[in-house]
């Protein structure tokens, strides 16, 4: 599994990239370094979500994330997206959640601005970690 697609709307859905997933979406043009991300893990090492550290693109992407129960927007320009809204920062082991992955992050929005797709490279995750994410696929 090379990449996953996080579909940000009222409910989070996770997909593998396919042509069908991107129908009716346009790439969000971000003319800069798109940041890096950390996989959020608990004490057992299970993947709970992802924290994305961004810069100027917060102005473009940030408003699309507001009000989502599974997204936490930090003052330090990071967004934490939990794969299950039962999780929060109290579940995260900071020492196990500092990957600082610098693979590309791509953003797509639908024409009405109601849904955002975030494409994240997950090729550096172990087979067990990838299996955890596969169980969450829509």
Contact indicator for 122, 133 with CB cutoff of 8 Å: yes
Query: With bands split at pLDDT 50, 70 and 90, how would you rate the model's confidence at 33?
Result: low
> Which residue in the block uniquely carries the two structure tokens 């859905």?
13
Give the pTM. 0.88
The predicted pLDDT at position 79 comes to: 87
Is the separation of the CB atoms in 102 and 32 below 8 Å? no
Q: How far apart are CA 101 and CA 104, in angstroms?
A: 9
- Mapped to the 3 state alphabet, what secondary structure does 28-77 carry? CCCCCCCCEEEEEECCCCCEEEEEEECCCCHHHHHHHHCCCCCEEECCCC
pLDDT digits (tens, 9 = 90+) for 98-123: 888 887 788 899 887 789 999 999 99
The mean pLDDT value for 13-27 works out to 91
């Amino acid at each position: 599994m090379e990449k996953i697609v996080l579909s940000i709307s009222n409910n989070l859905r996770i997909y593998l990239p396919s042509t069908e997933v991107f129908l009716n979406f346009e790439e969000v043009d971000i003319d800069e370094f798109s940041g890096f991300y950390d996989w959020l893990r608990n004490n057992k090492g299970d993947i709970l979500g992802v924290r994305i550290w961004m810069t100027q693109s917060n102005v473009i992407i940030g408003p699309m994330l507001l009000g989502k129960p599974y997204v936490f927007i930090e003052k330090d320009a990071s967004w934490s997206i939990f794969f299950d809204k039962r999780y929060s920062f109290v579940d995260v082991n900071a020492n196990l959640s500092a990957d600082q992955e610098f693979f590309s992050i791509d953003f797509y929005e639908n024409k009405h601005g109601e849904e955002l797709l975030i494409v994240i490279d997950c090729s550096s995750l172990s087979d067990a970690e990838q299996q955890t994410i596969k169980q969450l696929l829509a």
